[in-house]
Amino acid sequence: MASLPRIHKAEGFSLFWRTVWARAYPRIVGSMRERSWVFFETLLPLLGTSAYVFVYRALNAPQEFIGFVVVGGAMTAFWLNVLWSMAAQLYWDKDAGNLELYVVSPGPLMAILLGMAVGGLVMAGSRALIILIVCSLMFHVTYQVTSLGLLILIFVVTMAALYGMGMMFASIFLTAGREAWHITNLLQEPIYLASGFYFPVKAMGFWVATFASIIPLTLGLDGMRQLVFSGDPTLGFLSVSVELAILIVLAIVFIIAANYALSRLEQVGRQEGRLIERRR
């Protein structure tokens, strides 16, 4: 009788990587199965972006402002993905009965949320690319990239900081309980204003822009706009090098905070047999 093959349990980095891929796979594959989601998640941001373009055209604003709107409209896909598919994810998984499985599984929560982030990044990236291409063709936006390497770097660091913030928010929203839905709705539109999605953030004044810089998209958008448009350099809030340095710090802080919050959540779940709720 042939002996059964020996099973090797994944440990360390192998377990972390397999958990990331296992959680990212459903989002990457599932994002294209429901075609209506692709339509509505692309069409609605297109409509909002087009409205701001027509406003700037009516005001005879410089052509660079049209480009600012198009880039900002494309980046809304990432913010909405972080807000709805990252920050509120643990709360929804708790209602669906999946959170308990996450806690007792051998895979770390950080790897599970990182898998969600990777899958969501691919999903949001496809939407953002469609918005960018369609709007650029519709409104005749031209780009003059001064440094492609620096542009890619600042985009990657911005996404790392943004999704790190989303992972940190996941624990905060779970703690908030039923208020997670209201917090998600509350943060959606104000961030469009504070981060300068449709205008240079510098227009709000130095101190307002400084406080808004806690949101990674604020500096990420400002830096990318400075690199892809050859307009007036004074439209930028800070120099690209300074903004990149701040984004690196934000990415490190958010990822460490997210890891601590998730470790604490996992510890409470395993030791006390509860997930955030207080015993009565």
Percent of all residues in the chain with a pLDDT value above 90, rounded to a whole number: 10
What confidence tier does 279 reach under pLDDT thresholds 50, 70, 90? very low
CA triplet 178, 179, 183: central angle to 5 degrees? Answer: 140
pLDDT at 34 over 60: yes
**Average pLDDT over every residue of 41-64:** 82
User: pLDDT band at 280, cuts 50/70/90?
Assistant: very low
Total-model pTM? 0.82
Query: How far, in Å, are 14, 94, 108, 198 from residue 267 at the CA level?
Result: 22, 16, 11, 42
Containing 24, the helix (H) or strand (E) segment is: helix 12-30
pLDDT at residue 251, rounded to an integer: 93
**What is the predicted pLDDT for the residue at 62?**
81
Q: CB of 24 within 8 A of CB of 113?
A: no
247 has pLDDT over 90: yes
Tell me the three state secondary structure of residue 4.
Answer: coil
